[in-house]
Amino acid sequence: MQTFSIKNLNDAFKKMKFKKNNSYIIHSSLTHLGLLKGKPIEQIPKNIFNVLIKNLGRDSTISVPTSDWNYSQKKTLFDKKSSVAHKDFGGLSQYFVKRKRSFRSNNPLFNITAIGKKAKYITGGNTNNAFGKDSAWDRLYNLNSEILLLGCDFSETNFTFTRYIEFRFGVPYLYNKLFQQPINQNKKKIFDFSISTLRYHDLDIQYDLKNFKKILKKRKILVENTDKKIKITRVKMKPCFDLGIECLKKDINFFLKKKPKYKNKLYPLI
């Protein structure tokens, strides 16, 4: 596994020339970043957070995905205070959930935890819908938040914003599913259910965002650094959304590797 230093991380961020004190959502892979020199593994998330604050600004708002998949897989209730983020989201997401003065959104499966000036606004919408009006993802979009991929690739797994674009456009290979498990906050029930936008599993949906990334990069909406040790990708939400809608208007399956094989009368098609 590779190693990196605080200086490596600071230098990588400085070269990207971020405008400070904006809203950011960060998808990260600490495994691909590697081990931090001179620090034990359990302290890596805290040190990365400090670097983020230094380079993005103390008045910035930083959000991370903190979904609890046990809510759907094991039918457990979701508590905004005590439910852990799934391990696949990594150490930085776990750190955000546990940190004091962090705020967490309502929807369990597309959950967001935010820290900073606008954290309460981003997560405070009175809705349990994953991507609907006043959801955390909708509020991130309204702020024209910047998406950062730290140590991870541009893919459907790491770029959840694609699902928001699909939801707003209304692609036919996704549907809104009702989950009838409660959502709590500090053991007090705030919702009886939640709604999330999911794929039809029997359609064998496979994503391929290579062309989307290529166009985003060509129009300078997506910017990548050239640092071989610290990989950073940045994308502004609103121009990314506009381009995504433009591409879906031309091809409703634009984000997919192949067209789904729909079965007559089983899907909401005209």
How far is 165 from 241, CA to CA, in rounded Å?
Answer: 6
* pLDDT confidence of residue 201: 86
Q: What is the pLDDT of residues 41-98, one digit of tens each?
A: 999 999 999 999 999 999 999 999 999 999 999 999 999 999 999 988 989 999 999 9
- In sequence order, what are the residues at sequence separation of 6 or more whose Cβ sits closer than 8 angstroms to the Cβ of residue 131? 110, 137, 138, 163, 164, 167, 168, 197
Residue 126, pLDDT score:
94
| Nearest in space to 125 (alpha carbons), one of 116, 109, 136, 117 | 136
Pick from 50, 53, 27, 28: nearest CA to 116: 53
Report how far residue 241's alpha carbon sits from residue 114's, in angstroms, rounded to the nearest whole number: 21
Are 44 and 52 in contact, with CB atoms under 8 Å apart? Answer: no
Confidence of residue 267 (pLDDT cuts 50, 70, 90): low
Q: What average pLDDT does the chain have?
A: 94
| 3-state class (DSSP) for residue 62 | strand
What are the CA-CA distances from residue 114 to residues 28, 119, 260 (Å)? 15, 5, 35
pTM, entire model: 0.95
- Side chain identity, residue 108: P
CA-to-CA distance for 157 and 155, rounded, in angstroms?
5
User: Locate tokens 């903190």: which residue?
Assistant: 66
- Taking the C-alpha atoms of residue 7 and residue 150, their distance in angstroms, rounded to an integer, is 16
Domain ranges of the chain: 3-250
Token code pair at residue 72: 């759907």
Lowest mean pLDDT among 113-117, 162-166, 257-261: 257-261
Asked if residues 152 and 27 have their Cβ atoms less than 8 Å apart, the reply is: yes
- Residue 243 confidence class, pLDDT cut points 50, 70, 90: very high
